[in-house]
């Protein structure tokens, strides 16, 4: 089983709908991240969290919200999806204590907003 699991892997929705992308990890890492990948733009950080009580905005947080329900779970919500949020979304984890800075990514959630 994957260490970082994202659901759903693919989702097509309509403008204005609320969407939640979920991420769970079995690596025991304290840090979790949501990134967005667009062609020609690389990976951009949306939100990150150090632990259950900690939420921090990244480079492109507008239009998104997150929830860290437990150490192992970090969900990303689009309250009212719009077409320019069509992208590939990645959840990632890293280890604070003794960590090297390496990010461990899930396999991605492809979101299409019509």
Our CB check for other proteins shows the closer of 34 and 81 to be 34
The least CB distance from residue 114 to other proteins, in Å, is 22
> For the chain, how many residues are written?
114
Q: By the criterion CB under 8 A, which residues form the site for other proteins?
A: 4, 31, 33, 40-45, 48, 50, 56, 58-59, 90, 92, 96, 99-103, 105-108
Give the residue among 40, 41, 77, 42 at the shortest CA–CA distance from 61. Answer: 77
Nearest residue (CB) to other proteins, 15 versus 56: 56
* Between 45 and 52, CB nearer to other proteins: 45
Q: Smallest distance from the beta carbon of 63 to other proteins, in angstroms?
A: 19
Tell the smallest beta-carbon distance from residue 103 to other proteins (Å). 7
What's the closest the beta carbon of residue 74 comes to other proteins, in angstroms?
13
- Quote the CA–CA distance of 71 and 79 in Å, as a whole number: 23
Q: In whole angstroms, give the CA distance from residue 45 to residue 109.
A: 15
Q: Which of 73, 66, 104 is nearest to 7 (CA)?
A: 73
20 versus 43: smaller Cβ distance to other proteins: 43
For residues 60 and 100, give the distance between their C-alpha atoms in angstroms, rounded to a whole number: 25
Neighbours of 37 (CB within 10 A): 15
């Amino acid at each position: 089983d994957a260490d970082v699991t994202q659901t759903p892997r693919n989702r097509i929705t309509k403008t204005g709908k609320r969407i939640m992308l979920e991420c769970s990890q079995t690596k025991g890492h304290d840090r979790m991240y949501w990134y967005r990948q667009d062609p020609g733009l690389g990976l951009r950080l949306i939100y990150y969290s150090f632990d259950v009580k900690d939420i921090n905005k990244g480079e492109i947080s507008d239009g998104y919200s997150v929830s860290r329900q437990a150490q192992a779970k970090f969900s990303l919500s689009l309250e009212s999806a719009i077409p320019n949020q069509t992208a590939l979304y990645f959840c990632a984890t890293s280890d604070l204590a003794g960590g090297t800075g390496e990010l461990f990514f899930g396999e991605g959630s492809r979101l299409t907003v019509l």
